[in-house]
Structure 1
Amino acid sequence: MKRRNFIAQFSMAIIAAKVVPGYFSDVVSKMNPLPRWRGFNLLDFFSPDPSHRAQHTTDEHLKWMRDWGFDFIRLPIAYPYYLQIDRTKPITPEDVYHINQQAIAEIVRLVDKANQYGLHVSINLHRAPGYCINAGFHEPFNLWKDKAAQEAFYFHWQMWARQFRDKSAQQVSFDLINEPAMRENMNDQHSPATAVSGVLYRKILKGAAEVIWKENPKRIIIADGNNVGNDVIPELEDLHVAQSCRGYYPHAISHYKAPWANKDPEHMPVPVWPGQIGNQYFDRHSLEKYYQPWIQLAQKGIGVHCGECGCWHKTPHDVFLRWFHDVLDILTAAGIGYALWNFIGDFGVLNSGRTDVVYENWYGYQLDRKLLNLLMKF
């Protein structure tokens, strides 16, 4: 009887796996130690200047996320947002230590509010002392080269660790550096970006992890993939930190005509899925090959999450949805969660500005119902 019951239950699991996305990975294999968090990036503190804050997340927004079945937000922060500095002048090394407690309180209020709606919050330094993938900002030092920048980086993470010391692992995690890459010119967003030395990345991550775990040894720490989030970091595998991939491959689809990501955005080939884009052919097999190292990392028992994914609003909507279905399906089968960039805005489910979508009026917002339905499916 026991054997028959097991076979029956296992067969039901196999059937459910075909019906419910992610069921098999979540119920049978449990290979990814991180929860399969699903949600959005919120850009309230994305601008380095509080006067340019473009988004104010409300209780209503958080309630919609919860009611739609999501449980996660990633909070990408530009560290100058919470500095007390003269913003008419370039930031100096001394400025990096001048913390504006009022701005810190703003961030804490949003985290507390999100937790009240059952949403996990991943705090991310999108622009960290000495580094930002977007470049175009004046930085007084280089995180990958200057000890002073590294010390400032540790200072900021120690501050956040103390601020959220009493938050549980279910409430808050720390995503330390957004999309690390080596860039000689921090002020030129189109200057070549290459992988950081794995040994160097380990050194900096380890230093930050030590000050964080001193405040709360249970804090979940996430390291974005090397080479702008694309590559698994073998050098970190023994540090008990999770790693974060990206859902932007290929960029010819996800960043079609995006001016910050392409030197000649207006002359990019129109994306298709599956099919030939320029001189390359892309299909589901291409995606599976791209994500295989991340799936293998999760199989080793190292947490994996996709911290950013989606398409800028110039990509044809039908191409976007077909491609994104395959991305989410592959991640879900491996038990890997995701966070769409973003909630409201060019990549989002609300007010994306796409010209080829029939929007639904949602309490005054323009809702991309097809995209939302796709996300809810996974």
Structure 2
Amino acid sequence: MQRRNFIKTAGLVSLAAGLSELTYGTENFLLPPQNPLPAWKGFNLLDYFSPNVPSGKQKTTAEHLKWMQDWGFDFVRIPIAYPCYLKFDRSRNITAEEVYHIDEQVVDQISELVTTAQKYGMHVSLNLHRAPGYCINAGFHEPYNLWTDEEAQKAFYYHWTMWAKRFKNVSDKKISFDLLNEPSMREDMNDQHSKQSAVPGDIYRKVAKAAAEAIRKENPKHLVIADGNNVGNSVIPEIVDLNIAQSCRGYYPHAISHYKAPWANKDIDNLPLPKWPGQVGDKYLSRQMLEEYYQPWINLSKQGVGVHCGECGCWNKTPHDVFIAWFSDVTDILSKNKIGFAIWNFIGDFGVLDSGRSDVDYENWYGHKLDRTFLNLLTKA
């Protein structure tokens, strides 16, 4: 190549590289903004998902994390029920005062899991699956309501301050803080089947803003994520200016993902058999409906707001071929739009190991039952 042409070509490459680094927020950007979050892929780890003190029955090991790494995954989300790391009398309902009684020994155990996961190349997202005053699931009696009671909000900020301080010096490349799992406004905070709706936007903004400020007081670079409103399904326009990423879900439609799941259906014995694509009950289920569902999230990422799918997958009662057909479309839409995702669990009903499906030809994997078809789908997405 002639020297003049080489210099010209090199200059164009340098210019393109510089333009690609333009960030959202400048008035005259030349390229459309991209999803600022990496397209992480991985799993939720359920070690501390229960309000009860962890028993070790579902303990994630270094070997499990090594498998994830070897298979090409780089993300774990750790949903935590705050009561599991508290000291209080569990023979009765917790009091508002006891919400502050931290059990440092359990907090140390959670911190050890975070550190081990990072050792195996995982970005770790800490999530309060149950926060003071709210959880999408019943089974533990909350003393107040996060959205309406100031005392619950103060406790919420206190817990996030503790976690942010614990990981104060950890890079945002290695850890993020997912504020609250699947927020909604529920009539009875202790009855998951009671009437629910989206959290009013101004209230969600108030709580998310204060929690993010508490976290970033410890480290202004901490990465904060907020789950979508209305049980994770809806974009939160009220917080787009707060430098908070948002997390969508991969459970739509529930007729596929939660077929016969008792916590999601009142009558599990009279549900139409899932099909994909196909007519299920009074709706025709298809890829088009998925594309319409995810379009607001895609648009959000194109505005320069970070988007990740923090939970997705399918319970084990959906026929396997239907699940794979549906989830192939889900992951294809997310991946084409550079949105990463995390399967609800690694080992268990939603997972690639020991899912308990009756219609899978499992492969033996070090004593576990591996759904190789599902794993192949994930690694190719």
**Structure 1 length-normalised TM:** 0.92
Aligned residue runs from structure 1 range 284-299, under 5 A: 284-299=287-302
- Kindly tell me the number of residue pairs found equivalent between the two proteins: 358
Matched residue SS, 1:331: helix
User: Corresponding residue for 1:264?
Assistant: 267
2:44 equivalent to 1:41:
yes
Q: Distance in 2 between matches of 1:355 and 1:38?
A: 26
| 1:116 matched residue in structure 2 | 119
Report the counterpart of residue 217 of structure 2 in structure 1.
Answer: 214
Cα distance change on mapping 1:348 and 1:33 into 2, 3 Å: same
The one of 233, 238, 242 aligned to 2:241 = 238
Residue 361 of structure 1 corresponds to which residue in structure 2?
364
**Structure possessing the higher radius of gyration over alpha carbons:** 2
- Deviation above 3 Å: which 4+ runs of structure 1? 51-54
Q: Does 1:162 align with 2:128?
A: no
Residue 58 (structure 1) aligned with residue 46 (structure 2): no
| Corresponding residue SS for 1:372 | helix
Partner AA of 1:144 in structure 2: W
Paired residues of 1:157 and 1:211 also in contact (CA < 8 A): yes
C-alpha distance in structure 2 between counterparts of 1:345 and 1:43, whole Å: 10
Structure 2 runs not aligned, ≥5 long: 14-30
Report the 3-state secondary structure (helix = DSSP H, G, I; strand = E; otherwise coil) of the residue aligned with 1:267: coil
Structure 2 residue matching 1:265: 3-state secondary structure: coil
Partner residue of 1:13?
none
Letter in 2 for 1:187: N
Would you say the 8 A contact 1:30–1:335 is kept in 2? no
Matched AA of 2:158: F
Determine helix, strand or coil for the equivalent of 1:261: coil
* CA–CA distance in structure 2, aligned partners of residues 249 and 41 of structure 1: 18
2:317 to 311, 314, 329: 314
Whichever residue aligns with residue 108 of structure 1, its letter is S
Once residues 178 and 53 of structure 1 are traced to their aligned partners in structure 2, the CA distance between those partners, rounded to angstroms, is 23
Q: Which residue of 2 aligns with 1:282?
A: 285
Q: TM-score, normalised by structure 2?
A: 0.91
- Residue matched to 1:323: 326
| Aligned with 1:32 (options 32, 35, 39) | 35
Percent identity between the two aligned chains = 66
What is the RMSD computed on CA atoms of the aligned residues? 1.8
Partner residue in 2 for 1:204? 207
SS in 1 for 2:72: coil
> Are the counterparts in 2 of residues 32 and 335 from structure 1 also a CA contact under 8 Å?
yes
Query: Residue 186 of structure 2: SS of its match in structure 1?
Result: coil
